[in-house]
Amino acid sequence: MFLFDEQDGVGMTTLRVRDYAAAPGGRYRKDGPYSGEEYRDDVLVPVLLAAVGRNEQVVVELDGVSGYGSSFLEEVFGGLVRRGVVAQKDIGRVLRVLAKEHLFKPQQMLVERYMQKAQAETMPQR
């Protein structure tokens, strides 16, 4: 499992997607403002790398936006795994994706699925 591994006593940084955009956009920068690619590369990755260096956890809150396209979520979280920003063995320790509002629970589950699929795609074939 990648996500939802809470750790007591560990420092935490919280990113709220709503602070980035009220209406997250498409997959790529070329698709327009507030893309998943932009969020991953410009917001999440720098915070995540800093947290890894401090042995902290990053919580990404999905609540409070007008909605998500699946391409945004897949590019942010599946792309994070595919790019190997954080070792797959460590990502569950350093990243937690959270939906407090019932409305966003399905997106939370989608994120888990996207990350698992990306992991399977990047594992060496035997």
Q: What SS3 string covers the chain?
A: CCCCCCCCCCCEEEEEHHHHCCCCCCCCHHHCCCCHHHHHHHHHHHHHHHHHHCCCEEEEECCCCCCCCHHHHHHHHHHHHHHCCCCHHHHHHHEEEECCCHHHHHHHHHHHHHHHHHHHHHCCCC
| Number of separate domains in the chain | 1
Residue 71 lies in a domain: yes
pLDDT digits (tens, 9 = 90+) for 4-18: 344 444 689 999 999
Q: Which domain holds residue 18?
A: 12-122
Q: Give residue 122's pLDDT band: very low, low, confident or very high (50, 70, 90).
A: confident
Residue 2 lies in a domain: no
Note the pTM of the prediction, 2 decimals.
Answer: 0.89
Residue 36 lies in a domain: yes
* 61-81 mean pLDDT: 97
Residue that has been written with the tokens 């994070």 in this structure: 80
Residue 3 lies in a domain: no
